[in-house]
Structure 1
Amino acid sequence: MADEVNKEHLESPNNTQPENPVKETIPHQQTKAKDPIQEAATMEVHHHAHHKGNKNWKSYFWEFLMLFFAVFCGFLAEYQLEHTIEHDREKQYIESMIGDMREDSNKINASVIYCTKQIVGFDSLLQNIYNRPYTDSSLKLMYFIQLKYTHNRNAVVFTKRTITQLKNSGGLRLIRNKEVSDSIIMYSEACDQAESQADYFEKVRMGKVNDYSIRLFDNQYILNYRGQRIDNFLANNSDIALLNNDDNLIREYANALTYARGSLGNYILMLKGIQQRIPLKLKFLEDKYDLK
């Protein structure tokens, strides 16, 4: 009986395997790469934590102090750079001024030599004017001297490149040392005074001398003069005479020549004064700026 039950149980349809068993579900792996944009969009966003609560006054003070020091240090750096540039420009101006003074010194030497000879020529001309009666030789000498010494000039044209730049561009403010700036200004003023004296001698005093010369001397006698030596000029056998023998006119000419001589003498004194101070000024500037 039991064998039948077991047999029945084994043959029961409930114990038979299904013809199509349910297949096991296997997770499907994605083969496509993730879209970086989509991934970024789906990423979790982390927010910085905000510290709630008010800052105390110390925090604000230290922030202000740090900002102040940053601005101040920048200002110091800019100021130092500008200061260095100005010092370099100052030294360049002084070097240029020294060069101008040396050029002026050479010009003054040449002018003083010529003007001193001109003074001697004026004296000789005056001596001949007052030495009457005139002879052919004395008249020829008068013609020669007035031609050589009353028609030529050798005034100093001072070199003003540096001083002009200092004045026009406000460069004098770059000269920190007051003694140096005063020395430069005094030198410039002395040069201006000498130029004014030369201008007065040329336009006023020699202007009057020339006015009398054209009334006294006949240029036909000197047309062929080409820098001849005095002995060659005197050896000329042609007769020579003045345009006008009026005594008063001749004396007025001598007076004008005397005033011109005095004006020229003052000019020479001014030039010599400048010349004497130049070496001292050069040494002073070189010592102050260590330019030796």
Structure 2
Amino acid sequence: MLFLAVFCGFLAENYRESLTNETIEKEYILSLVEDLKVDTANLNSYVSFKKVKGHLMDSLAIMLVNRNHHLFGNQIYYLARQVFYESPFVYSDGTIQQLKNAGNLRLIKKRVIVEELLKYEKQVKVLIDWEENESLTKSTFREMGGRVFDSQALNATMNDEMNFVVPKDNPQLITDDFQTLNEMAFQVHYLSKMCFGNSKRAASLRTSAVNLLGLIESEYKLD
């Protein structure tokens, strides 16, 4: 009888632990779903932003090497300010970091979810790495800027409310040296292509997020 009582107690404890783990798992899954929904919304905005910026940078590069660039001072200075304007993708990684740091990935019984989640995280890191490369290109542009732009005119493209404004007095570049302008245009074209590339990477990441959401909803029968 004593053995039976101990054994039943052991089963009861295991059952309670199982219920607790299932509850924790469900909480993590629901939290993960919310993170992925936020990522999807952020990626939608990011993709659109990068496409627009890519086109703006192409326009800037073309005008810089145009032999009549003095006619486009307003647009050139306005677009030059856009080089440093960003709307970065912010990864909602709160849930996955909790799962990894607390060693709770084991609680996710659907191993296919864990595998796809880790793949998604690697894909996010690729995008972040490319964003860092984009930042390096902008740094090169900044270093060269003093040889091309009038500092006061460029500063005037942002008002007191920190909004970008188009100059009205057609400010001029401080050099007509084609080699210098071509070097600057090269950096801007490179930045443009990185913007388009990151837009595509983000679009692929968005597809992965949507697919992962669908997989979670299917595996866990979420409403």
The 2-side partners of 1:86 and 1:143 are apart by 59
Partner of 2:75: 141
Q: 1:270 aligns with which of 180, 201, 207?
A: 201
Partner of 1:192: 125
Q: 2:104 aligns with which of 159, 164, 171?
A: 171
Which amino acid is 1:212 matched to?
A: M
Corresponding position: 1:132 with 2:132: no
Partner of 2:41: 106
Q: 2:144 aligns with which of 208, 212, 218?
A: 212
Change (3 A) 1:169 1:228: closer
TM-score (norm 1): 0.70
Q: Indicate if the aligned counterparts of 1:101 and 1:278 stay in contact, CA closer than 8 A.
A: yes
Q: Which runs of 5+ in 2 are unaligned?
A: none
Is the helix fraction higher in 1 or 2? 2
Q: CA deviation at 1:241?
A: 2.2
Partner of 1:54: none
Corresponding position: 1:253 with 2:184: yes
Q: CA deviation at 1:228?
A: 6.2
Q: Indicate if the aligned counterparts of 1:205 and 1:263 stay in contact, CA closer than 8 A.
A: no
Deviations 1:92-151 (A, max 9, x none): 10110000011111111111111111011011011112211433x22322111111x202
SS in 2 for 1:216: coil
Q: Indicate if the aligned counterparts of 2:78 and 2:164 stay in contact, CA closer than 8 A.
A: no
Partner of 1:97: 32
SS in 2 for 1:159: coil
Superposition pairs for residues 38-187 of structure 1, below 5 Å? Answer: 66-135=1-70, 137-147=71-81, 149-187=82-120
Deviations 1:245-280 (A, max 9, x none): 322221111121222222222211111001122222
The 2-side partners of 1:228 and 1:111 are apart by 19
The 2-side partners of 1:77 and 1:214 are apart by 74
The 1-side partners of 2:3 and 2:199 are apart by 63
Partner of 1:22: none
- Structure with the greater alpha carbon radius of gyration: 1
**CA RMSD, Structure 1 to Structure 2 (Å):** 1.7
The 1-side partners of 2:95 and 2:114 are apart by 13
Q: CA deviation at 1:229?
A: 5.8
The 1-side partners of 2:183 and 2:156 are apart by 28
TM-score (norm 2): 0.91
Residue correspondences, number: 219
Q: CA deviation at 1:243?
A: 2.2
The 2-side partners of 1:260 and 1:178 are apart by 40
Identical-residue share of aligned pairs (%): 25
Q: CA deviation at 1:67?
A: 3.2
Greater RCO, 1 or 2 (C-alpha within 8 Å, sep 6+): 2
